[in-house]
Amino acid sequence: MAAKTAPAPRNVELHDAPVAAPKRSAKTAKLRASITPGTVLILLAGRFRGRRVVFLKQLASGLLLVSGPMKVNGVPLKRVNQSYVLATSTKVDISGVKVPEFSETLFKKCKKAKKGMFEGEEQKKEVSAERKKIQSEVDSLLLTHIKKVPNMRSYLKSLFTLQKGQAPHTMKF
C-alpha cells in the first residue's frame, strides 16, 4: 500500500502578504525668515485680528508663541499658526527675555459637558493660576524692553487697518 500524504491546505496563499507602507509623520513648520524672536506681528484672524503682538518663540508643534503683552493691548500669551500673521519690520530687542518652560497642554481647551437645551446657566471660564503666573512674568519682562523704544507702547496698542485703495501686498511693513 502507498504511503498516505497529508491533505492539501484549504486556504493557500498565492501572494506574499502586503507590506504596510511607512506612514508620513507631520513635520513642524519651517519658520519664515521674516519672523525672528522680538518681531512685531499683526494677527490676521480670530478674536484679536488686527492686533499687533510680539513673537517670542516657535513651539514644538510648529505654532508661534506670541504675546500682546496683555497689559498693553489685551492680547494674552497665545499660540498662532504662522499663516495667520503678517510680519512687520519692527523689532523689540528681547534678548534678555527668557520665556518660561511649559507644556502645550496649558493652551488646550477643556471639553464642554453635554447639557439639555435650557439647563442651567453657563459658568464663566476661569484662567488657570499657572497661566496667569506665566502671563505676568512674560508681560513684566516684555514691558521693560518695550519702554526702552520710544512710541512702541502706543504702536502695539493701535489696531492695524487698511483704508480704501491700500493693497497690503504692495506695502512694506
Following DSSP, what letter does each residue of 20-64 receive, concatenated?
PPPPPPPPPPPPPTT--TTEEEEE-SSTTTT-EEEEEEE-TTSPE
The residue with greater pLDDT, 170 or 3, is: 170
Please give the pLDDT value at position 60: 86
What's the pTM value of the predicted model, to 2 decimals? 0.76
Which residues contact residue 107 at a Cβ distance below 8 angstroms, ignoring those fewer than 6 apart? Answer: 78, 79
Residue labelled with grid coordinates 524672536:
37
Please give the pLDDT value at position 117: 61
Which phi and psi angles does 39 have, rounded to 5°?
-70, 140
pLDDT digits over 99-114, tens only?
Answer: 877 777 777 776 666 6
Collapse the DSSP code of 29 into the 3-class scheme (helix H, G, I; strand E, B; otherwise coil) and give the result: coil
Q: pLDDT > 70: what percent of the chain?
A: 88
pLDDT digits over 112-152, tens only?
Answer: 666 666 666 666 777 778 888 888 888 888 999 999 999 99
Q: pLDDT > 90: what percent of the chain?
A: 40
What is the average per-residue pLDDT within 57-73? 90
State how far the Cα of 90 lies from the Cα of 79, in Å rounded to an integer. 20
Q: Domain ranges for the chain, please list them.
A: 34-96+129-155
What is the average per-residue pLDDT within 53-80? 91
User: CA end-to-end span of the chain, whole Å?
Assistant: 97
Residue 54 in this model has a pLDDT that exceeds 90: yes
- CATH number listed for the domain at residues 34-96+129-155: 2.30.30.30
Please give the pLDDT value at position 103: 73
Closest CA relative to residue 91, chosen from 147, 36, 51: 36
Please give the pLDDT value at position 122: 64
CA torsion sign, 74 to 135 to 88 to 94? positive
Residue 3 in this model has a pLDDT that exceeds 80: no
Please give the pLDDT value at position 1: 63
Please give the pLDDT value at position 105: 75
| Chain centre to alpha carbon of residue 82 | 8
Amino acid (1-letter code) at residue 105: T
